[in-house]
Amino acid sequence: MTVLVNGITCKNPSWVQANDIYYSGMHIRGNTSNAMGSSVTLAFVFQIPGLNTLGISLARLDFAPWGVILPHTHPHATEILTILEGQIQVGFVTSNPENHHFSKVLNKGDVFVFPVNLVHYQRNVGNTYAVAMVALSSQNPGVIPIGNVSFGSKPDISTDILAKALQVSDDVISNIQTKF
């Protein structure tokens, strides 16, 4: 029998082993040969079952030169990022009415915080590959990429809503939707 806690299978405590709270491979460069030139390696509760209820998780970010991780939110977590290699620009935008855009270019050893639920992004602005480690304040932070949920949802959001949201013509939106 499988008991779900927070939607995740929960093991009988007496069966827990060191391997349930262990993961490996976070030193391996992710494959950045893709359109965004970036890669995300997750260590969430799906990878480390013993994290369930413990309120923390990790991810490794890899960037080709000028690679980017597009604007997204984590609906359940603050994110704290540390640069291991390279030079990365980071930014987030605050909620209404300010919509203030906090942004900073980070170098090796720099740390930056993305407060819970705000739209944020990272991109390589150096000439080399870049690597960052991030920690998140949930075992299951969730990922909501603004582009995907707007233009790549199943089924599509009505063209006219998105056209008004971006103040463009319906044709522009239809064109974008075909790419997602």
Annotated binding residues: 72, 74, 79, 120
Residues 41-60 that bind a copy of itself (CB under 8 A): 43, 48, 50-51, 54-58
Residue 15 lies near a copy of itself (rule: CB under 8 A): no
Question: CB of 59: closest distance to a copy of itself in angstroms?
Answer: 11
Residue 176 lies near a copy of itself (rule: CB under 8 A): yes
Distance CA 116, CA 74 (A): 7
> What's the angle, vertex CA 144, arms to CA 152 and CA 40, rounded to 5?
100
Residue 31 lies near a copy of itself (rule: CB under 8 A): no
Neighbours of 55 (CB within 10 A): 13
**Cβ-contact 91, 101 below 8 angstroms:** yes
> Between residues 12 and 33, which has the closer beta carbon with respect to a copy of itself?
12
**Cβ-contact 58, 106 below 8 angstroms:** no
Specify binding-site residues for oxalate: 74, 79
Question: CB of 55: closest distance to a copy of itself in angstroms?
Answer: 4
> Between residues 70 and 170, which has the closer beta carbon with respect to a copy of itself?
70
Residue given tokens 């980071």 in the structure block: 90
CA end-to-end distance (rounded Å), the chain? 39
Binding residue (CB under 8 A) for a copy of itself from 111, 124, 170, 174: 111
**Cβ-contact 80, 134 below 8 angstroms:** yes
Distance CA 85, CA 126 (A): 10
Residue 174 lies near a copy of itself (rule: CB under 8 A): no
Binding residue (CB under 8 A) for a copy of itself from 39, 64, 86, 91: 91
DSSP symbol at 36: T
Binding residue (CB under 8 A) for a copy of itself from 39, 128, 130, 180: 180
Residues 116-135 that bind a copy of itself (CB under 8 A): 116-119, 121, 123, 133, 135
| Structure token digits, residue 154 | 């199943």
